[in-house]
């Protein structure tokens, strides 16, 4: 009994608390999007990917299937696939089955659980592929094991949309440096489109995205000793046309004070916490960023409706 109670109390995580306080003490309150992905957040994100309004995942999967033969021809035999972020093994499996006799698969993620799960699934489905899971923060330094060429980086899901221009450039440059000369990089990039499509994709009728965003406050209540009243915050999805990004916010419905790790945070009525950006980039805009970081755009594909794009870059 005691051991259980202690385990619960120790859900406090000083790193989460410190990160949260830094964002909430700023004049414009923000929380970093990676905090959305605790186990419950990951479960809710998986649910988002199957929502009728969230076109991103199914469009990218269809596109991957469609360009498989062309990718196979362009990449050649015996490639090593390095995936930045080990989200869903489904996409990696699709890519590996499109390629000719892939040699290796390297899932990179900060979440050890995600890396292991995806390694396990790929090992089971592709016994001939050498799987080398790596736990690392790929926004910092990326240390790769020695891998047989050709190298193919893979960054699906428009995860790059979480990064602003400066961070995206730094990331593209770091990947270029780690994969080296002769490598390719396959990147999923969501396209700008009407807010009539974008807003429901980030504020769905079933309320799953709202639950995903609000779960962050739940997490802070547990891990940052906070006392957010979830009934007094609302999920908001905003299309920022000037920045070409969807913003997720948690809006305080009333003036209120919240305690976080012993500090008091004040909210005025309508004030929000900015929790995530999802940049939408036109092919030319993304290719310009790629060129700036030493990549040569080799091909870009999009679905017939122009919802989503897949870029192939060459080092």
Site for ligand AVJ, rule CB under 6 A: 48, 56, 157-159, 161-162, 202, 209, 276, 278
Nearer to ligand AVJ, 201 or 224 (CB): 201
125 vs 60, 97, 131, 152, CA distance in Å? Answer: 21, 10, 11, 19
- Report the nearest approach of ligand AVJ to the CB of residue 156 (Å): 9
Q: In 76-186, which ranges are continuous DSSP H helix?
A: 89-98, 112-125, 165-179
Nearer to ligand AVJ, 84 or 202 (CB): 202
- Report the nearest approach of ligand AVJ to the CB of residue 246 (Å): 7
- Report the nearest approach of ligand AVJ to the CB of residue 88 (Å): 11
Report residue 149 as tokens.
């060429």
Nearer to ligand AVJ, 49 or 66 (CB): 49
Nearer to ligand AVJ, 33 or 150 (CB): 33
- Report the nearest approach of ligand AVJ to the CB of residue 62 (Å): 16
Nearer to ligand AVJ, 79 or 155 (CB): 155
- Report the nearest approach of ligand AVJ to the CB of residue 200 (Å): 11
- Report the nearest approach of ligand AVJ to the CB of residue 64 (Å): 15
Cis bond leading into 221, ω under 30°? no
Question: Which residues on adjacent β-strands are paired with residue 154?
Answer: 83, 186
Nearer to ligand AVJ, 254 or 305 (CB): 305
Give the containing element (helix H, strand E) for 39: helix 39-48
Give the containing element (helix H, strand E) for 212: helix 208-223
Q: Where are the beta strands (DSSP E) in the chain?
A: 80-84, 104-109, 130-131, 134-135, 151-155, 184-190, 233-240, 245-252, 256-260, 263-267, 272-279, 296-302, 308-314
Nearer to ligand AVJ, 236 or 278 (CB): 278
Per 3-state DSSP, the chain is made up of helix, strand and coil in percentages (nearest 5) of 45, 25, 35
Radius of gyration of the chain (CA): 20
Instruction: Centre a 10 Å sphere on the Cβ of residue 129 and count the other Cβ atoms it contains.
Output: 18
Report residue 81 as tokens.
């696939």
Residue 190 — φ and ψ, nearest 5°? -75, 145
- Report the nearest approach of ligand AVJ to the CB of residue 48 (Å): 5
Q: Closest residue to ligand AVJ, Cβ-based?
A: 278
Q: Please, are residues 297 and 290 in contact by the beta-carbon 8 Å criterion?
A: yes
């Amino acid at each position: 009994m005691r051991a259980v109670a202690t385990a619960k109390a120790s859900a406090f995580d000083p790193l989460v608390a410190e990160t949260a306080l830094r964002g909430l003490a700023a004049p414009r309150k923000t929380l970093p999007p990676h905090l959305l992905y605790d186990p419950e957040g990951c479960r809710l994100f998986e649910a988002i990917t199957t929502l009728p309004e969230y076109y991103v995942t199914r469009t990218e999967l269809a596109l991957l299937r469609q360009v498989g033969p062309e990718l196979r021809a362009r990449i050649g035999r015996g490639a090593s696939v390095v995936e930045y972020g080990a989200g869903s093994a489904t996409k990696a499996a699709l890519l590996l089955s499109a390629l000719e006799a892939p040699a290796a698969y390297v899932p990179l993620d900060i979440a050890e659980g995600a890396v292991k799960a995806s390694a396990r699934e790929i090992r089971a489905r592709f016994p001939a592929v050498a799987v080398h899971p790596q736990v690392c923060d790929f926004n910092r330094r990326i240390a790769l094991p020695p891998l047989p060429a050709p190298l193919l980086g893979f960054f699906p899901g428009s995860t790059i949309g979480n990064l602003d221009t400066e961070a995206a450039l730094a990331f593209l440059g770091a990947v270029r440096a780690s994969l080296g000369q002769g490598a390719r990089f396959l990147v999923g990039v969501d396209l700008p489109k009407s807010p009539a499509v974008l807003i429901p994709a980030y504020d769905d009728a079933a309320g799953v995205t709202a639950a995903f965003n609000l779960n962050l406050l739940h997490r802070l209540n547990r891990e940052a000793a906070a006392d957010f009243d979830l009934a007094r915050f609302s999920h908001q999805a905003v299309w920022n046309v000037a920045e070409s990004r969807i913003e997720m916010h948690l809006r305080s419905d009333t003036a209120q004070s919240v305690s976080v790790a012993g500090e008091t945070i004040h909210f005025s009525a309508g004030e929000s916490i900015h929790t995530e950006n999802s940049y939408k980039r036109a092919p030319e805009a993304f290719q310009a960023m790629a060129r700036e970081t030493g990549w040569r755009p080799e091909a870009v594909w999009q679905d017939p409706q122009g919802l989503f794009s897949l870029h192939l870059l060459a080092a």
